A and B are shown apart, each in its own frame.
Chain A
């Protein structure tokens, strides 16, 4: 309406010289206005008609498909936190997939003559005691951190989803047994447990370290899945699905898990960061990966001996580690905001 009124105001302003022209203009303008108004009214009417009982969405407009994930994606796209963390993660993943594209030197080609050089245009992050290019080593270290983070979280989430949905869905005895095992597991601190188990292992590669972190890490996740499944299970649509003859496995896979996934995904994203930090901590303590593996934790561990003379050896892998952990945790936060606004 306001548009129409504005138009009229414009018309009321008479052109000084030609009154006839003015009248014509008025007629013309008012005429089109009436037509426009009529059209608008018809449209309104039609709209009203379309709104009559039951029809919530007008037939003309294509109903926007708003699934949980669709909505979440629309919300995420606009959030700077998500954009920043997602870009960082994408970059880190690309680096870990193709480190050679980014590295300037072969990380294992070391020359003792170049030992402990300060950062320069030739060696951006300087060189370590062995004379290896520190920038290239930091780049190659990404692969270890990211793969351990993803492997550990992937498998511990799968364990948690299986155990948690069984415990939550079937309840009773099953729940008690799984619940008590989880409780017992819960009291083992990740780092201390990792030290104990890993110190018994002679060779410690990515797989060994991941395995230990999986074994120590599923309990928290399982509790989360269980409580989430319990919350979803109370919904009427679960009863409804059962009344319609769905089997137990179908109920869990189709009706419960998709609805219980949101908090799990959020915590999984955060957990990737936590696991990466844990791996670095274990390597730093000397029970994680072993030389000649290239890992930020190991680099930080060796760098601490020269913290005064060559602080950059500590700083660069430290920055990479912090940024990586930070971006996964940030991603988890952004996902939480989008998937479960109530938790904010």
Chain B
């Protein structure tokens, strides 16, 4: 595990040298768009966050808010075309991952070395994210064969160890099973084993529990938490599930229409939300700690990303809307050191919480 001792190999990342002092992941002003026949879909419009060692950051947003797409861009697995990173910066421990393309001027991911080894990803539906024609042992072992050049036999041995580590019972027997022979929870464990196999420093979990039922969800979240405590890795949790966020996250970025709406610690987001959208999300779920007569949905639906409303993208659905919201995009107002909100009327919103 990556402990205090930093080896020379740890500092090397392809042809780059990493800065041991820098945070694990720094995302700044990330813009991603899809150029399709109907126009330009602006999927991500200025995402920014910093992930420190051992931290869990939840990226919260509804479908189409750009939370998955932005992380595909960070991993460099965006489908290009039609997807392009047009602006922004992503730094992994100080190493800039994006560089402008010579001809198009869009940003390319130029450090493929991080994939799997330094930053790994856990996908939502492990059934579709595992290759159906190979055994799980083969697939976990592939990590070791590709990145560490192990033999088939040694790789399989390591795969069994990894399966033990994510608590798959009788790993030795199950190593030769195919993905469809596992239950949903076990499959997600296989995914996690694959992601963890090379001791990455950051794991990006893209809705890791959405496809699972509630009891299995908490098992998987517990497992992730436990593994995180063991290894000190940073965890980016992409989700729309507030319960999951409440359970594990240290801080939260709330996304809407590809934009950061609010950013803050878990306490601040849940107890002193300063953005009408966050507030709306909080009102729309049942919470044991807050008494509500009835759940209030957020009226309307998310905007068409081909045609995002001018001004604040949330204004057509917002209770606090004023004329200024329709024309001007609110900047991120700092409320305190860690808490910020992209709302002109954040003070009023916070009072109403």
From 119 to 164 in chain B, residues with beta carbon under 8 angstroms from any chain A beta carbon are: 120-121, 123-125, 128-135, 142-143, 146-147
Check B120–A244 contact: CB distance below 8 A: yes
Q: Are A63's CB and B177's CB within 8 A? A: yes
Q: Is the CB of B115 within 8 A of A240?
A: no
In the bound complex, do residue B129 and residue A68 qualify as a contact, i.e. CB atoms below 8 Å apart?
no
A237 with B77, Cβ < 8 A, contacts A67-B178, A243-B121 known: no
Complex contact B181–A56 (CB within 8 A): yes
Contacts of A67 in B (CB 8 A): 133, 135, 178
Residues B125 and A243 in contact, CB atoms below 8 Å apart:
no
Q: Which residues of A contact B35 (CB under 8 A)?
A: none
Q: Are B125 and A236 in contact (CB under 8 A)?
A: yes
- Which chain B residue shows the least CB distance to A50? B169
A79 is an interface residue with CB less than 8 A from chain B: no
**Contacts A63-B173, A171-B81, A245-B117; is A54 near B183 (CB within 8 Å)?**
yes
A contact residues around B180 at 8 Å (CB): 66
Separation in Å of the B207 CB from the closest CB of chain A?
11
Question: Are B132 and A68 touching (Cβ within 8 A)?
Answer: yes
- Closest residue of chain B to A234, judged by CB? B79
Q: How far is the CB of A165 from chain B (nearest CB, A)?
A: 16
Q: Please provide the chain A residues from 62 to 101 with a CB less than 8 Å away from any CB of chain B in the complex.
A: 62-63, 65-68
Cross-interface CB contact of A54 among B121, B134, B216, cutoff 8 Å: B216
The answer to whether the Cβ of B310 comes within 8 Å of any Cβ in the partner chain is no
Determine which residue in A235, A241, A244, A250 has the highest number of CB atoms from chain B within 10 A of its CB, and name it.
Answer: A244
List B contacts of A63 (CB < 8 A): 173-174, 176-177, 181
A25-84 with Cβ < 8 A to chain B: 53-57, 59, 62-63, 65-68
Most B C-beta atoms less than 10 A away, residue of A237, A241, A246: A237
Question: How many A-B residue pairs lie within 8 Å, measured between CB atoms?
Answer: 110
Q: Using known A-B contacts A237-B131, A243-B77, A246-B146, determine if residue A54 contacts B178 with beta carbons closer than 8 Å.
A: no
Produce 1/0 per residue, A241-261, CB < 8 A to B: 111111100100011001100
Determine how close the nearest CB of chain A comes to the CB of B203; give it in whole angstroms. 11
**CB distance A241 to B131 under 8 Å?**
yes
Interface residues of A in 199-252 (CB under 8 A from B): 235-237, 239-247, 250
Most B CB atoms within 10 A — which of A63, A65, A235, A250? A63
Q: In the complex, which of the residues A66, A237, A245 contacts B116, with contact meaning CB atoms closer than 8 Å?
A: A245
- Check A243–B116 contact: CB distance below 8 A: yes
Answer yes or no: A19 CB below 8 A from chain B CBs.
no
Decide: A240 and B185 in contact? CB cutoff 8 A: no
Q: Hey, what's the 0/1 contact readout for B165-201 against A, CB within 8 Å counting as 1?
A: 0001110011011101111011001010011000000
Q: Shortest beta-carbon distance, B7 to chain A, in Å?
A: 20
Question: Shortest beta-carbon distance, B227 to chain A, in Å?
Answer: 16
Cβ-defined contact, B186 with A236, below 8 A:
no
Contact between B182 and A56 (Cβ–Cβ < 8 Å)? Answer: yes
Nearest CB in chain B: distance from A31 CB, A = 36
Instruction: Please give the distance in Å from B285's CB to the nearest CB on chain A.
Output: 25
Verify if A172 is at the interface (C-beta below 8 Å from B): yes
A66 touches B178 (CB 8 A): yes
Closest CB in chain A relative to B38 CB, distance in Å = 19
Inter-chain contact A242/B177, CB cutoff 8 Å: no
Q: Is the beta-carbon distance between B130 and A54 smaller than 8 angstroms?
A: no
A250 with B115, Cβ < 8 A, contacts A57-B181, A66-B181, A259-B131 known: no
The answer to whether B132 and A259 touch across the interface, beta carbons within 8 angstroms, is yes
Chain A residue at minimal CB-CB distance from B186: A54
CB-CB under 8 A from A59, the residues of chain B are 169-170, 173
B50 within 8 A of A: no
In the complex, what's the smallest C-beta–C-beta distance from A247 to chain B, in angstroms? 8
Question: Which residue of A53, A55, A239, A244 contacts B194 across the interface (Cβ within 8 Å)?
Answer: A244
Known: A240-B123, A244-B120. A255 touches B178 (CB 8 A): no
Distance (Å) between the CB of B212 and the closest chain A CB?
A: 11
Which B85-140 residues sit within 8 Å CB-CB of chain A? Answer: 112-113, 115-117, 120-121, 123-125, 128-135
**CB–CB B186/A237 < 8 A:** no
Residue ID in chain A nearest B114 by CB atoms: A245
Q: Is B350 an interface residue (CB 8 A)?
A: no
Q: Is the CB of B129 within 8 A of A245?
A: no
Residues of B within 8 A of A (CB): 72, 75, 77, 81, 112-113, 115-117, 120-121, 123-125, 128-135, 142-143, 146-147, 168-170, 173-174, 176-178, 180-183, 185-186, 189, 191, 194-195, 215-216, 219
The 10 tightest CB contacts between A and B, nearest first, are A245-B116, A245-B115, A243-B121, A244-B116, A236-B129, A236-B128, A240-B129, A56-B183, A237-B131, A242-B77
The 9 listed contacts between A and B (C-beta, < 8 Å) are A55-B186, A65-B135, A66-B180, A236-B123, A236-B129, A244-B146, A245-B117, A250-B146, A259-B131
Residues in chain A within 8 A of chain B (CB atoms): 53-57, 59, 62-63, 65-68, 171-172, 235-237, 239-247, 250, 254-255, 258-259
Can you name 10 extra interface pairs (CB under 8 A) apart from A59-B173, A240-B130, A259-B131?
A: A54-B186, A55-B169, A66-B181, A68-B133, A236-B129, A243-B77, A244-B116, A244-B194, A245-B117, A259-B132
